[in-house]
Structure 1
Amino acid sequence: MSFSSLRPFLEVLRKDKDLAIIEAPVDPYLEIAEIHRRVIQEEGPALLFTNVKGSPFPVATNMFGTSRRVDLAFGPRPEQLMNRLVGAIDKLLPPTFSALWQEKDMLLDLLKIGLRKTSRDTAPVLGVSRTERPLAGLPALTSWQDDGGPFITLPLVYTEQPGQPKRHNLGMYRMQIFDDSTTGMHIQIHRGGGFHYSEAEKRNEPLPVTVFLGGPPALIASAIAPAPENLPELLLASLIMGGKLPMVDDPLGGHRIPAEAEFAISGRMLPFERRPEGPFGDHYGYYSLQHDFPVFHVDHVWHRKDAIYPATVVGKPRQEDYYLGEFLQRLLSPAFPLVMPGVRSLWTYADTGFHALSAAVVRESYSREAMGTAFSILGQGQLTLTKVLMLTDQPVDLEQFRQLLTTVLERFDPKRDLYVFDNTSHDTLDYTGPRLNHGSKAVLLGIGDPIRKLPAEYTGAEIPGVDRLKPFCPGCLVVQGASYARDPQLADKLSVHLAETGCEWPLVVLADDADMADGESSFLWTTFTRFNPAQDIYAVSEAGRHHIGYGLPLVIDARMKPGYPDELFPREDIVQLVDKRWKEYGIRTR
């Protein structure tokens, strides 16, 4: 099934009793977000709030908060078409008449992809124009009590490369509302929109920007997809939809607008203008702190006469972005071997914030081929922000992280299979590095035949400085000791002691709470959002001329450290308010 806008999608959810319509008055300041978090934790329904304090617009959230709703929103066709297209590449290059005829159905499907111009009279988004105080009454959410203000959390930010308007980008960059005509624009330097803004600054020109809210669900998916830099996101949206995307010219000037969008916010970012933006409770599960970011000046807003405001709430995994990320990885993964021939499959882990951990099954047809493939992966688009990359040549299901880690540790010799690169780029939201956008990377290889039998239960002596311990998987032990503030050298002391006593566990993770070993999601989140490889991997090592030879065990210090932002927790009085009002909302979860 393909949906032309959010309207038919929400209607199908309503008929399926997978949409809760909340008519009770609710506050966009903290209350809606707390309701949303409880529902998504229970894998509950999508939410439509029809009585939002201070706004004439209803708010829709949690539209993609389960695998079922994501599958419903996009259907199996995009994945089937992508798999068929990749499988047909060898037949079609070079093209022959017989090969083209055999794939005629697929080629006809591809001819349906693209943009279609529509008239103003048939474009619902042009129902109402607002030029005076254009953002007034927009029900932007404040999700966490220490956020810098209300944020637009599901914006589809459209820009074009200066001088080359056919090269566009559709990205999702949060927008803090400063007043009725200006917002912050968290347009990160590593993303397509950031490249366009940088080019505009080199020209000393403003960058025109149009922000779409709503429209076909495929637009939302394409905006967050880790697609190759030169793949137009509007074209990807059309592929996901299975038909041409209707666009309409803006009568007030500027970019084309998706005809079925709920809102279109048009304006510009001036060169070299910055303003403090944040804090913001982000999908890493912590507050991203206040920093200077570009300012978006809004000239006018178009919206439907009965516009619905789409929003999401982010925070500690798993949230709505987890389920969208799953779909996009399944959709795009067949294309990775075309770009990187040594890659068999590749996965990034939503529980770590995506960029903190990636893994791949790779080819090893000659010695150290996997290392070359690692460099290839780290040179691809958003994958350049990967902090930890694990590779194996064994046919494992990468979504099963325990299985992957066990496979790697069975084959891993850190003297030759661990590489740490300092002074590299970091995701803007990852605060484990020494400063914003800077950090380090680690590559771990688990190639060939097993070289050790891994322990599954700890039977050794008491470890000095360790209060509690739990195995996470064969070969990986989680230990709990003093906080970093009390003993910043504990990880170093552990690595020395464990090496001297012949510890048989190749990987030891030092955490503030050993219970994080109980679940795969908690282990991934706690470990990979709290360590920077160059600073927080400890081992007895030997320095060679060009490479450090690490010994075993490796100790990862995944404790909270000074300078890390606070973990996200809801405000207690809001928790009590939602407890008290829960029956008023009329939401049924399983």
Structure 2
Amino acid sequence: MGYGNIRQWIEQLRKDKELAVIDAPVDPYLELPEIHRRVVREEGPALLFTNVTGTPFPVATNLFGTARRVDRAFGQRPEQLLKAVAGAAETLLPPSLPNMWKEKKLVVNLLKTGIRNVPQGEAPVLGVCRTSDPLSELPHVTSWQEAGGPYITLPLVYTESQTAPQKHSLGMHRLRLIDQSTAEIDWNRHQGAGLYHQEAEARGEALPVSVFIGGPPALIAAASASRTAWLPDLVLASLILGSRLPMVKDPLGGHSIPAEAEFALRGLVPPRSAPQQAPVMHVQRIWHRKDAVYPATIAVTPQEENFYLVDYLQQLLSPVHHLAIPSVNAFWTYSESGPNGLAAAVVQDSSPHEALSTAFRILGDRQLSGSRLLLLTSEPAAFSDLPAILENVLERFNPATDLYVFGSGARLGEEHTEGRQGPDSQAVLLGVGRAVRELPRTYSEGVLPGINEVIPYCGGCLAVSGASYEEDPELPVRLVAQLRGQQSAWPLVILTDHAADAVRTQSSFLWTVFTRFNPAEDIYAESEIRQHQLGYKLPIVIDARMKPGYEQEQTPCSSTLDLVDRNWRHYFQQ
């Protein structure tokens, strides 16, 4: 059985010498996040800050910041169980006593999943209730000067459908604290809580929302997972935990609360006055343990702390993608490419037409559809080897028939999200069947006007850099013409601000390209229309330069860097 609450996990980290306790006074505004970022970059220990300015609560960060830590937290049992479920699906559906007997061990394990109600006296989360200024004592962790305020960064946002109460959502949606009783929620309007909010808005009602902080690590994992329509989020948490999830009724009414949570916020999100307005939670009360610990995470690009947790969950859920879409053998989203970045699927060996049908099924699946670029190949390859996946596609794709760009109808993020140059769009690149070209691996085609850096990323994919977007927005247009004029052998060219930095690692490539990429605006190629079908011609150029309106990379201010430099040895005194 897994760890029953976050403090059990912290204690295990202490025993494993994977925890650094910082007793020195630390300011949650900029100082604490900078300490965290430095430790995460070195794959250092989890951190427990016991003396945080402005709050009575200790703050724990980097709890899942390495692959070793994630494996230790959850083990192999959940993955083995889901593989068994996927393998037994044909046997158990439809259920019958003889078939269930054949899979009796699996059935027994599945019967252990779900929730169990516990008495209020056995729920530590009900230790303290605060209804006046309920957010005032929470640690105001602020990562950057330009962040817009403090955030709750590991919130488990729980909502229920008002039209079908048996449906629920548990998601990791950041909350920006506005004042002592309100917080802005960053959720996807087209999934889970966002859909339930739309339902409530249509009825002119506020949506009841609960936010849990802490609890079993399995609960945090379930909230981080991609939505799985066939597997309710609390059931997934129970499956990862290895036992029924203990829940307690809120004495003041409303949603039940995980009994082992550290904090539980209860409130309402009223209808918005305009589509571009962010949803705002009006917090009515907060429950917390008498000795609550506040878990948090801090953004670290390109590979954040939760990278390992998200990838674990993808690996955990990968056996069941084939059940949802039989033609999909494997599916992966690349965490380092940012929210809604790059996804890849290995599909059954098929014609391009059948592969396109599979792509449409993926794009139509709310759980799988949230990436700007979807690569499809029929050639097996490890998703951890992006160059191999990309080469499989580039060897096979026909630009006239295998590249599809879908405009502003794409449903990737929030209508209220700022920092986008234009409406969301998506693209699909198919590469199935036999190889049709040999990919170049070294560049020997001469000087490209306006380009000062040319570096291959992998076979067939070239990274180049020249003037910035603000200096020369038309550079990709001329680049396409130049490459076509010299009959370039490179099918894909990525225009970046700094090619050498972009190709340095797989993580840097994913982050640099796909956080600055909107397909409908940033894909350049010659094209023609035949039989109402838009067909492209090689090469394809992607403009992945930083553009006006895109969120700039954040950097710590000099005063924060100096402060942390001065105090570094004091933080880690034994």
TM-score, L = length of structure 1: 0.94
Kept in 2: contact 1:426–1:433 (CA 8 A): no
Contact 1:361-1:391 within 8 A present in 2 as well = yes
The number of aligned residues is 571
CA contact (8 A) 1:485 1:561 kept: yes
Structure 1 residue 434: deviation in Å? Answer: 4.6
Stretch deviating more after TM superposition (531-540 or 461-470): 531-540
* Cα distance change of structure 1 residues 550 and 163 upon mapping to structure 2, 3 Å threshold: closer
Say whether residues 1:327 and 2:312 are aligned partners: yes
Query: What is the CA–CA distance in structure 2 between the aligned matches of 1:432 and 1:583, rounded to whole Å?
Result: 38
Name the SS of the counterpart of 2:323 in structure 1: helix
The letter of the residue matching 2:134 is P
Closer, same or farther: CA 579–79 of 1 in aligned 2, 3 Å = same
Gap runs ≥5 in structure 2? none
The answer for the alignment partner of 1:565 in structure 2 is 551
Q: CA offsets per residue over residues 63-86 of structure 1, 9 Å max, x none? A: 011111111111111100000110
Report if the CA contact (8 A) 1:113-1:239 is conserved: yes
Cross-structure match for 1:492 = 477
Q: Distance in 2 between matches of 1:587 and 1:321?
A: 27
Q: Judging changes above 3 Å, is the alpha-carbon distance between structure 1 residues 309 and 261 closer, same or farther for their aligned structure 2 residues?
A: same
- From 284, 301, 306, the counterpart of 1:299: 284
1:182-237 Cα offsets, whole Å, 9 max, x none, are 11122331221111111111111221111111000111111121122353211111
**Structure 2 residue aligned with 1:442:** 427
> 2:461–2:494: 8 Å Cα contact kept in structure 1?
yes
How many Å apart are 1:426 and its aligned residue?
4.6
Q: Aligned equivalents of 1:261 and 1:311: distance in 2?
A: 14
Map 1:509-520 → 2, pairs under 5 A: 509-515=494-500, 516-520=502-506
Instruction: Report the CA distance between 1:354 and its aligned residue.
Output: 4.4
The letter for the 2-side match of 1:519 is T
The whole-number CA distance in structure 2 between the counterparts of 1:382 and 1:102 is 31
**Alpha-carbon shift at residue 91 of structure 1 (Å):** 2.0
Match of 1:464 in 2: 449
> In the alignment, residue 528 of structure 2 is paired with which amino acid?
E
Aligned to 1:386: 371
For residues 509 and 553 of structure 2, the distance between their equivalents in structure 1, rounded to whole angstroms, comes to: 15
Q: After the TM superposition, which residues 547-558 of structure 1 pair with which residues of structure 2 at under 5 Å, given as runs?
A: 547-558=533-544
Q: How does 1:63-462 map to 2 (within 5 A)?
A: 63-229=63-229, 231-272=231-272, 292-366=277-351, 368-428=353-413, 434-435=421-422, 438-462=423-447
2:519 to 533, 548, 554: 533
Question: 2:564 maps to what in 1?
Answer: 578
1:587 shift after superposition: 7.5
The 8 Å contact of residues 227 and 332 in structure 1, kept in 2 or not, is answered as no
Could you tell me how far 1:89 is from its partner in structure 2?
Answer: 1.1
1:468 and 1:293, CA in 2 relative to 1: closer, same or farther beyond 3 A?
same
Query: Secondary structure, in 3 states, of the residue corresponding to 1:381?
Result: coil
* Cα offsets for 1:495-553 (capped at 9, x unmatched): 01111111111111111101111211111111111121122111122222322221111
Matched residue type, 1:32? L
Give the structure 1 partner of residue 24 of structure 2: 24
Which of 449, 453, 465 is the matching residue for 1:480?
465
Partners of 2:5 and 2:214 within 8 A in 1: yes
Q: What secondary structure sits across from 1:164 in the alignment?
A: coil
Checking the alignment, whether the CA contact within 8 Å between 1:228 and 1:380 is kept in structure 2 is no
Q: CA deviation at 1:432?
A: 7.8
Write the distance in 2 (CA, Å) between the matches of 1:317 and 1:382: 23
User: Which residue matches 1:56?
Assistant: 56
The answer on whether the counterparts of 1:185 and 1:296 sit within 8 Å (CA) in structure 2 is yes
Task: Give the direction of change, closer, same or farther, for the CA distance of 1:24–1:432 in structure 2 (3 Å limit).
Answer: closer
Do 2:455 and 2:499's aligned partners in 1 also have CA atoms closer than 8 Å?
Answer: yes
Q: Structure 1's 262 and 400: CA in aligned 2 closer, same or farther, altered over 3 A?
A: same
Task: Tell me which moved more, 410-419 or 79-88.
Answer: 410-419
Q: Which amino acid counterpart does residue 293 of structure 1 have in structure 2?
A: A
**Helix, strand or coil at the partner of 1:492:** helix
Counterpart AA for 2:149? G
SS at match of 1:271: coil
Give the 3 Å change call, closer, same or farther, for CA 265–431 of structure 1 in structure 2.
Answer: closer
Q: How does 1:7-18 map to 2 (within 5 A)?
A: 7-18=7-18
* Counterpart Cα distance in 1 of 2:230 and 2:177: 30
CA distance change for structure 1 residues 142 and 195 in 2, over 3 Å: closer, same or farther?
same
Cα distance in 1 between the residues matched to 2:172 and 2:317 = 18
Other structure's SS at 1:424 match:
coil
Amino acid of the structure 2 residue aligned with 1:55: T
TM-score (norm 2): 0.96
Question: How many angstroms does 1:576 deviate by?
Answer: 1.3
Q: Give the Cα separation in 2 of the matches to 1:169 and 1:540.
A: 44
Superposed displacement of residue 433, structure 1: 5.4
Percent identity, please.
Answer: 53
Q: Report the equivalent of 2:34.
A: 34
RMSD (Å) for aligned C-alpha atoms: 1.7
Matches of 1:389 and 1:241 in 2, distance apart? 32
Measure how far apart 1:12 and its partner are: 0.6
SS in 1 for 2:306: helix
Could you tell me how far apart the structure 2 residues matched to 1:232 and 1:126 are? 25
Offset of residue 2 of structure 1: 0.4
| Distance in structure 1 (CA, Å) of the matches to 2:270 and 2:162 | 13
Q: What letter is aligned with 2:263?
A: F
Structure 2 counterpart of 1:14, one-letter code: R
2:337 and 2:265 map into 1 onto residues whose CA distance is: 32
Richer in strand (by share):
1
